[in-house]
């Protein structure tokens, strides 16, 4: 972190994000990648004709350009993703070719419900949460000058415990159908849904349960006596949705991270941390580079170590296992403040 960043704000944001890096409901083994899709990074000096030739070699069809040189492409039936990636990676002008991975909230066993039964804000009592028991207490005074991004499913930001801390984009005029702030997205007043490519960051209680839960752990104001108190009751929560019904794609994770970097760099949003309560055992060059860009923008990534009781030193879980100084990997505690038996751990790779 650069010295100009307020250390108190950074530490506050890290702790509140640490609490929020929590697992989701148990699920069956989910798919690990989008079928027949690749992310392909061309070297900057590769001529346009050679790029076209590379795509033609594997009969790939361009779906979208994620950033300069980084493409999402689809493959024809009958050609495996791994085979196409190996073919393309051999070309001198290709930096990497890899599957379009799918990310899912880190898994855990079925938790007991504790919160607002009607809206689901912070609606899981997991081993991470001890808000009224005294294991973890809210930060006195909050951190009103801090913005933290919840990169997850959507979140019910109009809930009475969240709306007071919800960030809105001052550069956008609501409902005018114009990209007022020049970031390529129209009416991203409340953030952006990269899973569906629209401005709605909350679709329904079930689809957006996990992001609402995470947001509540970070910044629920404690106005509902049946709900919870977040660790920081005064701050700005930025909702960026990239996980949809079938998971969140690597392509959308990269787009979402670059969106957040742009908010900080061009629009001076005081973003100090991004919470990533999701992951995959598969590494990715595209995600690595996106997380490196976060660090260059002086933004921490606070990531769940994952569930399953594994040793991340032996079996990495990404992005939590990325060896970068601004990546903080969080294990889970039980109600007594000790390491939860089903949390991943790692003497070298799990920070807290």
Looking at the predicted structure, is the pLDDT value of residue 335 above 90?
no
Q: pLDDT-derived band of residue 137, with 50, 70 and 90 as boundaries? A: low
Residue 337 has pLDDT above 60, yes or no: yes
Is the pLDDT score of 75 beyond 60?
yes
For the segment 284-310, what is each residue's pLDDT rounded down to a tens digit? 999 999 999 999 999 999 999 988 889
Report which of 170, 274, 166, 294 is spatially closest to residue 230, judged by C-alpha positions: 166
Inter-CA distances, 119 with 136, 160, 213, 329, Å: 24, 10, 10, 29
Q: What is the mean pLDDT of residues 165-187?
A: 95
pLDDT (0 to 100) of residue 217: 87
CA distances from 234 to 9, 213, 272 (A): 12, 17, 15
Compute the residue count for the chain: 352
Tell me what the pLDDT averaged over the chain comes to.
Answer: 84
Surface-to-core class of residue 157, CB atoms within 10 Å of its CB (0-12 exposed, 13-18 middle, 19+ buried):
buried
C-alpha dihedral over 310, 315, 316, 317, to 10 degrees?
-50
| Per-residue pLDDT tens digits for 221-262 | 888 777 778 888 899 999 999 999 999 999 999 999 999 999
pLDDT value of residue 269: 95
Percent pLDDT > 70 in the chain is 81
- The DSSP-derived string for 53-101 is HHHHHTT-EEEEEEETTEEEEE--TT--HHHHHHHHHTSTTEEEEEEEE
Contact 193, 202 (CB under 8 A): no
Beta bridge mates, 203: none
Q: What is the pLDDT of residue 131?
A: 39
Report pLDDT for 140.
65
pLDDT at 308: 85
Within 10 angstroms of residue 312's Cβ, the number of other Cβ atoms is 23
Q: Kindly state the average pLDDT of the residues 153-158.
A: 94
């Amino acid at each position: 972190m650069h010295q100009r960043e307020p250390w108190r704000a950074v530490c506050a944001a890290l702790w509140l994000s640490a609490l929020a890096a929590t697992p989701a409901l148990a699920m069956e083994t989910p798919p690990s990648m989008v079928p027949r899709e690749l992310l392909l990074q061309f070297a900057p000096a590769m001529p346009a004709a050679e790029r076209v030739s590379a795509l033609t070699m594997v009969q790939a069809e361009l779906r979208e350009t994620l950033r300069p040189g980084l493409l999402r492409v689809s493959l024809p039936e009958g050609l495996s993703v791994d085979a196409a990636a190996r073919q393309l990676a051999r070309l001198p002008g290709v930096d990497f070719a890899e599957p379009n991975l799918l990310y899912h909230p880190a898994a855990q066993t079925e938790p007991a419900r504790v919160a607002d039964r009607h809206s689901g804000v912070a609606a899981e009592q997991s081993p991470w949460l001890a808000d009224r028991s005294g294991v973890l207490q809210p930060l006195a005074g909050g951190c009103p000058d801090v913005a933290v991004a919840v990169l997850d499913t959507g979140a019910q930001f109009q809930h009475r415990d969240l709306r007071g801390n919800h960030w809105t984009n001052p550069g956008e005029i609501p409902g005018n159908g114009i990209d007022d702030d020049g970031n390529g997205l129209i009416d991203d007043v409340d953030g952006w849904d990269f899973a569906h490519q629209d401005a709605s960051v909350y679709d329904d209680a079930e689809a957006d349960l996990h992001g609402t839960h995470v947001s509540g752990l970070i910044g629920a104001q404690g106005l509902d006596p049946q709900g919870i108190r977040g660790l920081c009751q005064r701050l700005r929560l930025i909702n960026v949705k990239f996980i949809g019904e079938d998971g969140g794609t690597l392509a959308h994770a990269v787009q979402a991270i670059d969106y957040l970097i742009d908010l900080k760099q061009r629009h001076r949003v005081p973003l100090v941390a991004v919470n990533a309560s999701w992951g995959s055992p598969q590494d990715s060059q595209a995600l690595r580079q996106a997380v490196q860009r976060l660090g260059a923008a002086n933004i921490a990534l606070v990531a769940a170590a994952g569930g399953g009781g594994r040793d991340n030193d032996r079996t990495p879980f990404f992005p939590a296992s990325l060896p970068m100084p601004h990546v903080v990997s969080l294990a889970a505690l039980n109600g007594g403040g000790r390491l939860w038996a089903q949390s991943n751990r790692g003497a070298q790779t799990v920070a807290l």
